[in-house]
A and B are shown apart, each in its own frame.
Chain A
Amino acid sequence: AQSVTQLGSHVSVSEGALVLLRCNYSSSVPPYLFWYVQYPNQGLQLLLKYTSAATLVKGINGFEAEFKKSETSFHLTKPSAHMSDAAEYFCAVSARTPLVFGKGTRLSVIA
């Protein structure tokens, strides 16, 4: 069975600073990997996905993630945080199965 671990339930960064949200996965078969964002009182929106093409994946709003098989990681980064990035971020895995989500990381951006 696959699983996802998001390191840090809450991350706080200053506006303009690097955003790094960590995700490690476990899967017995090559996985699909996803990052979703959830703004308050809204549903989940897909930020980016890895589906076995390029290992460096670019998404919306300036986010990107790199699939590292040797480290079983799929960390999410953004060079410069904006206030509008404050939200809950979920990493998810699908190993040809329904999505399995991590517990989420709440990102706060300080002015």
Chain B
Amino acid sequence: DSGVTQTPKHLITATGQRVTLRCSPRSGDLSVYWYQQSLDQGLQFLIQYYNGEERAKGNILERFSAQQFPDLHSELNLSSLELGDSALYFCASSVGGNFVTYNEQFFGPGTRLTVL
């Protein structure tokens, strides 16, 4: 158990809908990262928040957005869902927020999103 929790475990929805995925980081970690794992694209970094502020952005679609709340939990919002958005979405957390020095990321179990 990494100490990172994600809810829900599974989510099934229809095209065009909007969903929210939730992540609670390990106690004491200030950084939250979101990743998407799909058969087509593999494992890709989406976005990072550090202490409530966006710190880095990857291949995140404009239909997707995220935020980190004062209690440090984070939510990933996916809207206007398409079939291709079906994937496993991971959250990870770390103590630090920069990439210059090493900060180990601890991964949650993921949320499996199925878009029908």
Contact = CB atoms under 8 A, between A and B. Distances in A.
Interface of A: 32, 36, 41-46, 49, 51, 90, 94, 96-104
Contacts of A101: 42-44
A90 B102 contact: no
Contacts of B44: 101
Contacts of A42: 109-110
Interface of B: 2, 4, 33, 42-45, 48, 56, 58, 90, 92, 99-100, 102, 104-105, 107-110
Contacts of B43: 44, 90, 101, 104
A44 B107 contact: yes
10 contacts: A36-B107, A43-B2, A43-B4, A43-B107, A44-B43, A44-B90, A96-B100, A98-B45, A101-B43, A101-B44
B33 A98 contact: yes
Nearest to A104: B42
A42 B6 CA distance: 12
B104 to A, nearest CB: 6
9 closest A-B pairs by CB: A43-B107, A101-B43, A98-B45, A44-B107, A51-B102, A43-B109, A103-B42, A96-B99, A96-B100
